[in-house]
Amino acid sequence: MLFLNNIFTLQLLLPLVSGLTSPQGSPLVQGNTKRQDIIQLSPNQNFQWLRPSRKCFTQGIYIETDLSIVETCGLYDESYIRRYVLDKETAKHPAKTKNTIAVDSKYFLEGIAPVGDNFYTLTWREKAVLQHKRPTLLEEENGDVDVLEASGKYLAGPRPDVQWFPSESQEGWGLTTDGCKLYVNTGKNFIAHLDPETLEEIIRVEVSIDGRPLNKINDMMYIAPSIWANVWYTDDIYRIDPETGIVEAHFSIKGLYNWSGDATPNGIAYSYEWGPNDMLITGKLWNTIFNYQFKDLEICGRMVTADEKDSCPQMPPSPCNPPAPKAPETPIPEAPPADKPPVDEEETHINDEQLEQEIPKQSEPKPEGSSYIMYMFGCIFIVFVLFALCAYKCGTKHYVQSDDDEDRTVELT
């Protein structure tokens, strides 16, 4: 009875019990057909910036480790990747593009996601994922797409015979990552988990909302342990459990931007370093990117379990997966100078008499200017008077009368 009541465990084991598989042969987690409560969120839109002025049909976006924005721009003959920096202090001028990576005109770029030293870009109908070098991207100068092929193994770049897309769909739409595997959608109502090294499908999870399939999933952003996703041609953004496919929360950006036609909302970016509760949102051909701020755990849903951390040590931080606190730095004691031996504490005590002997008394300041002249004249005058008085006394003789009435001279000194 306990096993049957544990819906989460049942959904994960269902593919193994029933033998359900996707068209690619991977285990299939079916969507929930029961009605469910969906949390309606109201995050605060608190800032906005102007994006680079060059046209961009935004297909995917993420925040790099240096807090620059990396974005894929789609359409045939117009697809490229760009990196730019948003100034958090001002938004008066369009953001400056740091560098651009061009791709072959035959590619229509879609979602983008970084894993390790690489980042991957999805293509729309080319059945390929392009692999790029992140160090090249972070350089100021433009870089080229790194296309690498090897016999019998797909490493990067187009291989027409590689069809990791499901047979019922010929398109690739959204792409994101938890740091260990890739999450891909094709505009249908499922998210496929892929091995980034081989692009083999590990498992497929059907996405459902209130018991119904959620179709047209577009750009995605992983915020541990959940996935946020746009839905094409709508103002709705959904928080999805990537293991069960259940939509847990939702909010609308209706009225945020006056869009029409193909300029649909598309583009969700997140970085704990940018702001633990902040999310960037933009759209296709939009000239603006917006910052939304959430409360508490709204942005991620639930705390990450220890097993989940162990299964993916590279999982990015979030309020539900906070980074480990930094250990306090232990101060390093300063070594005594090499030319002086260590001083004994008993010898460091100096009494007042020693202090007076060691510290010479300062002489009185000499008067300056006219005061100094008067002082010198005064000193000369005193010396002159003393000299005259001494000369007078030494040169004068006094006469005294003796008892025998004889005159004698006595020299007074």
- Model pLDDT, residue 365: 53
- Model pLDDT, residue 136: 74
Residue 301's φ and ψ, nearest 5 degrees, are 100, -65
Residue type, 304: V
Write down the residue that tokens 């240096």 correspond to: 66
Using CB atoms within 10 A of its CB, is residue 287 exposed (0-12), middle (13-18) or buried (19+)? middle
CA distances from 183 to 195, 242, 369, 378, 406 (A): 9, 8, 87, 100, 142
- Model pLDDT, residue 404: 46
Question: How far is 412 from 403, CA to CA, in rounded Å?
Answer: 19
Question: How far is 78 from 172, CA to CA, in rounded Å?
Answer: 17
- Cα–Cα nearest to 86, from 101, 108, 64: 64
Task: For the sheet with 109-115, list strands across it.
Answer: 109-115, 118-123, 129-133
- Model pLDDT, residue 59: 98
Q: Do you find a cis peptide bond into 160, omega within 30 degrees of 0?
A: no
290, two tokens: 């917006």
209 - beta bridge partners? Answer: 212
Q: Which helix (H) or strand (E) holds 279?
A: strand 278-283
Residue type, 281: I
The full DSSP string for 6-21 is -HHHHHHHHHHHH--B
- Cα–Cα nearest to 249, from 310, 320, 322, 313: 320
Question: How far is 219 from 60, CA to CA, in rounded Å?
Answer: 6
pLDDT string in tens for the chain (413-residue length): 333 344 333 344 334 334 577 766 778 888 777 777 899 999 999 999 999 988 999 999 999 999 999 999 999 989 989 999 998 666 788 888 888 888 888 889 999 999 999 899 999 998 888 888 888 777 755 433 333 232 222 233 333 233 445 445 678 999 999 999 999 999 999 999 999 888 888 999 999 998 899 999 999 999 999 999 999 999 999 999 999 999 999 999 999 999 999 999 999 999 999 999 999 999 999 999 999 999 999 999 999 999 999 999 999 999 999 998 877 777 777 766 666 555 555 545 555 555 455 545 555 555 555 566 777 777 777 877 777 776 666 654 444 444 444 444 444 33
Question: How far is 326 from 329, CA to CA, in rounded Å?
Answer: 9
Residue 242, C-beta contacts closer than 8 angstroms, at least 6 positions apart:
178, 183, 191, 193, 205, 222, 225, 226, 227
Give, in degrees to the nearest 5, the angle at Cα 80 between 78 and 86: 120
Q: Around Cβ 226, how many Cβ atoms within 10 Å?
A: 23
Instruction: Give how far the C-alpha of residue 203 lies from the chain's centroid of Cα atoms, to the nearest Å.
Output: 31
230 - beta bridge partners? Answer: 237
- SS3 call for 283: strand
- 27 neighbors 19 (Cβ within 8 angstroms): no
85, two tokens: 């920096």
- Model pLDDT, residue 168: 54
144, two tokens: 């080229």
- 123 neighbors 99 (Cβ within 8 angstroms): no
Question: How far is 209 from 239, CA to CA, in rounded Å?
Answer: 10
What's the topology of domain 7-311?
A: Lipocalin (2.40.128)
- Model pLDDT, residue 134: 86
- Model pLDDT, residue 5: 41
- 75 neighbors 108 (Cβ within 8 angstroms): yes
pTM exceeds 0.85 for this model: no
Question: How far is 240 from 235, CA to CA, in rounded Å?
Answer: 16
- Model pLDDT, residue 395: 57
- Model pLDDT, residue 8: 38
